[in-house]
Amino acid sequence: MRKPWEAERRVDLELARKLIRERSPEVGAATVERIGEGWDNVAYLVDRAWVYRFPRGELPARLLANECEFLPRISGRLPLPVSVPEAVGAPTADFPWPVARHRYVAGTTADRARLTDTERGALARPLGEFLRALHDLHVEGLPGDLIGRMDPEKRVPKARERLDALADLGVIPKPDPWLPLLASLPRSPLPPCPLHGDFYSRQLVLAEDRSLAGVIDWGDIHSGDPACDLMVAFAFVPRAEFEAGYGPIGEATAKLARFRALSHTLGVTLYAHDIGDEDLLREGRLALERLRS
């Protein structure tokens, strides 16, 4: 059975260089280097100025299309730089999905930064202010949640399965401390709003001084439960400092955010272990420790 992070179609350096030069003849493409690969896309940095993202499957291609349509509408209304697609390459015989190009947001992603508790605290309020601005926007036509990110019927069994898998691998001692987060989940008390949808450490770019330089990878943009993004206040930064920028998080929303944080972190941690990403695995373990009941 194919793992959810395994690519339907891989784009190696040779193919990336060919597709970039075909679709963007105005770009010199003197240097092309792979800078990241996740569940949905593989990213190449071109001439130290442009990032090209190639979807790794049919669903990621649909998500990338949403990003290309909606992110340009909201980017100028947010308090941090975001990775806005400036050009979209159409499918070709060599590659069946669109390709997005955006300007490089320079820095280090937070999962690689080995942040101290003090540094996480310093990031909390700006992250809260960013999400407050995003969640307050009105974006006409934004699609709903296409993959059930907050659906307990879908996510609770998967979370139990991943807890057992991580325990079998020795990444966690046993599932028991996290099981209460999967029980008696309330209905959301808040209306849907615009969401990043995958708001965790790998999508946050830090400058050299450890301040926030930007937010990247908007393929999961949609309209949905704000708790989906608010997981960051429970898995990554301290809640009190975050709320100073975002505003109070009600307890029903907090419980849903902790559920989303656990569900998301389990998948990321299992993925990091499987591909041998030590930085992301370390960050996943830290998030799970924060989420222990």
Beta bridge partners of 33: 45
Are the beta carbons of 197 and 185 closer than 8 angstroms?
Answer: no
> What's residue 1's pLDDT?
61
Q: 228 vs 14, 59, 159, CA distance in Å?
A: 37, 19, 15
Structural domains of the chain, ranges and CATH numbers in brackets: 13-103 (3.30.200.20), 108-290 (3.90.1200.10)
> What's residue 207's pLDDT?
97
The phi and psi torsions of 188 (rounded to 5 degrees) equal -65, 130
Q: Per-10-residue mean pLDDT for the chain, 293 residues long?
A: 82 93 87 92 95 94 92 94 89 89 95 97 98 97 94 96 97 96 94 98 97 96 97 98 98 98 98 96 98 84
> What's residue 23's pLDDT?
84
> What's residue 2's pLDDT?
66
Token pair belonging to 171: 């990444």
> What's residue 162's pLDDT?
97
> What's residue 293's pLDDT?
65
Distance, CA of 253 to CA of 31 (rounded, Å): 46
Average pLDDT, the chain: 95
Distance, CA of 202 to CA of 66 (rounded, Å): 20
